[in-house]
Amino acid sequence: MPNSQVQKNTILEVKELNAWFGDFHAVKNINLKVEQNDILALIGPSGCGKSTFIRTINRLHEEVPGARVTGEVRLLGQDIYKMDPVKIRRQVGMVFQKPNPFPGLSIFENVAVGLKLSGIQRKSILTEIVEKSLKQAALWNEVKDKLNEPGTSLSGGQQQRLCIARALAVTPPILLMDEPTSALDPISTARIEDLLQDLKKYVTIVIVTHNMQQASRVSTKTAFFLSGELIEFGDTSQVFTKPNKQKTEEYITGRFG
Amino acid sequence: MIRRGDLNFSDKIFYWVLKSLAFGIIGLLVVLFILLLKMSWPIFSKIGLSFYFLNEWNPVTEEFGAMAFIYGTIATALLALVLSLPISLGSALLVTELANLHVRRVLGFLIEMLAAIPSIVYGLWGLFVVVPFLRTDVQPFLGDYLGFLPLFKGPPIGVGLMAGGIVLAIMITPTIATICREIFLTIPKVYKEGALALGATRWEMIQLSVIRSSLSGILGASILGLARALGETMAVTMVIGNRAQISSSLFSPAQTMASLLANEYAEASSEIHMASLTAIGFGLLLVSLIVNSLARIIIWRVGRIYRRSK
């Protein structure tokens, strides 16, 4: 490939992306690139389109009746809107705002579910990957003796780390997190923030957050959204200390939002 | 909460009027119970509860036992449930998980409309469409290929358990489909999206997050459908063949508790015949109450779990 130098590091490339709910234009003409081992934080006030944007990356946005997307999203160079959404979602991990372990499945089964969906049946392989994923999600020590108990029996913070393990099990190149700590207490939140620094080694992360301190603590890149537009995108240190746009400065200094 | 002492005089009257009306409904049920028990006393005092276990029904010789009708009732209701469940589940899943908004609305509306068709109309349709079709096509076919099973033995008459079960299946489908749809809609979206985000297909998502978390709700909906099938009278009376017998074959005519009452009550002359029919009514009331309460409790508990987790 002629441009392999560029593609080696670019995990995600978004070009002229627009998203609608019916007539409502929720995401307007977004262009950005995410490189390997980045943690990109998406910040902005409620309703600014950051959650909608993250949901276009694994094509979950279109599951909402009346929703529509135009533009290009390239994951590892492949245009995901020209592919089967089911295949795309197997390569993109996602963690939601509210922990959502599947009811009726054990801790083990919850982590293994993605692997089973991709056709892996062998018990020995499943056991190995489940252990590895739970260790990556820093949950192994707490659950190793009760893998057969229901996933829903864990505490909220543990459930969220279980969901992170579930997403990591299929070794996705990219992990999307939609306000993953907003339903958690401060201690669980701190644990997940610490965890993100470890995860950076294995996976590129895009995280939506309401909390600007969190964005400045955990991320390497920051994108500021307002009314569906990408106002500013750059290194986190630059966006938080010397923002180029006045709107960004007003938002991060708490003048609105 | 309003304390009674806070009400002024006209509100107090209003309160008592409403209260007595509301409790009147429950009183009515109690009166009905007592009356039925009293009217069926002659048969109970003669043979006791063995009335429900005897397989004998001869008004001329005054031998009475309800077993054949209990069998007919349960057999048609269960057959209806078996036939209706896949249709109901399928349509509820289509309406909640797969179809676009337009199809959702139209289909949901049409399914609910099925419940509004008068039972006698189902009976006419059963008698003039279903029964001839069973007699000339379905039953000869089943008899030829599956006739070795006791279920499909005997002459293809058309009227009988099978026709009753089919007509009932269509009548209980709106009940089961509507409740299943309501239950599927209470499942938080985050579970469905969680499955889709892992790369589940529609069917895998339905297995993982819809079916698994609504099993007890589906059970409740089925029991409620069963309750409706147990008590349904007119349509069944028209297609069941009205014969007091217990046969393992779905081709054979039978009789349900409700259809027996519709057929014989007007002509019952002797006191003991009347009492036996009332005793059957009493049994039907009891079973319906128990089955209905069971279903309501199950459905209520499912709803409560999700209301809490939302």
Q: What pLDDT was estimated at residue B306? A: 59
* B27 within domain boundaries: no
Query: Which residues of chain A are within 8 Å of residue B188 when distances are taken between CB atoms?
Result: 98, 100
In-domain check, residue A112: yes
Q: For residue A224, is it within any domain?
A: yes
Residue B204 lies in a domain: yes
Say whether A63 and B212 touch across the interface (CB within 8 A). no
Question: What CATH code is carried by the domain that includes residue B250?
Answer: 1.10.3720.10
The answer to whether position B297 is within a domain reads: yes
pLDDT value for A202: 85
pLDDT given at position B310: 42
Interface test with A, best of B198, B203, B212, B218 (most A CBs within 10 A): B198
Within 8 A by CB and 6+ apart from A27, the residues are: A17, A18, A19, A49, A52, A53, A56, A228
Number of domains in chain A: 1
- Note whether residue A243 is domain-resident: yes
Are B198 and A102 within 8 A, CB to CB?
no
Q: Is residue B255 part of a domain?
A: yes
Q: What pLDDT shows up at residue B4?
A: 63
Query: B54 lies in a domain?
Result: yes
Residue A180: give the domain boundaries: 4-252
Give the CA dihedral A182, A188, A191, A197, nearest 10 degrees.
-10
Note whether residue A43 is domain-resident.
Answer: yes
**What pLDDT does A236 receive?**
95
**Structural domain includes residue A123:** yes
- The CATH code of the domain that includes A67 is 3.40.50.300
Question: Is A65 at the interface with chain B, CB within 8 A?
Answer: yes
- Give percent helix, percent strand, percent coil of chain A, each to the nearest 5: 40, 25, 35
Task: State yes or no: pLDDT of A253 exceeds 80.
Answer: yes
Testing the interface with B: which of A117, A153, A162 to mutate, by most B Cβ within 10 A?
A117
- Structural domain total, chain B: 1
Chain-chain contact of A96 with B191 (C-beta, under 8 angstroms): no
Residue A9 belongs to some domain of the structure: yes
Residue A32 touches chain B, beta carbons under 8 Å: no
Q: Tokens at residue B33, please?
A: 């119970």
Contact pairs from chain A to chain B, CB under 8 Å: 67
Of B196, B208, B213, the CB nearest to A60: B196
Q: pLDDT digits over B59-98, tens only?
A: 888 889 999 999 999 999 999 999 999 999 999 999 998 8
- Interface contact A163, partner B, CB < 8 A: yes
**Minimal Cα–Cα distance from A218 to chain B, Å?**
24
Question: What's the pTM value of the predicted model, to 2 decimals?
Answer: 0.80
Question: Is A257 among the domain residues?
Answer: no
Give residue A174's pLDDT.
94
* Contact across the interface for B199 and A60, Cβ inside 8 Å: no
Q: Is pLDDT above 50 for A1?
A: no
Paired sense of beta strands A221-226 and A204-208, if any: unpaired
Q: Tell me whether B140 touches chain A (CB under 8 Å).
A: no
CA-to-CA separations, A127 to A103, A130, B69, B184, in angstroms, rounded: 20, 5, 56, 32
Q: Which residue has the higher pLDDT, B8 or A39?
A: A39
B24/A131 Cα distance (integer angstroms)? 63
- What does the pLDDT average to over A119-137? 93
Whether B213 maps to a domain, the answer reads: yes
pLDDT of A7 strictly over 50: no
Residues in chain B, pLDDT under 70: 1-6, 303-310
In a domain, B35, yes or no: no
What is the model's pLDDT at position A3? 47
pLDDT for residue A5 is more than 50 = no
Share of chain A above pLDDT 70, in %: 96
> The domain containing residue B264 runs over which residues?
40-309
Establish if A104 touches chain B: CB-CB under 8 angstroms. Answer: yes
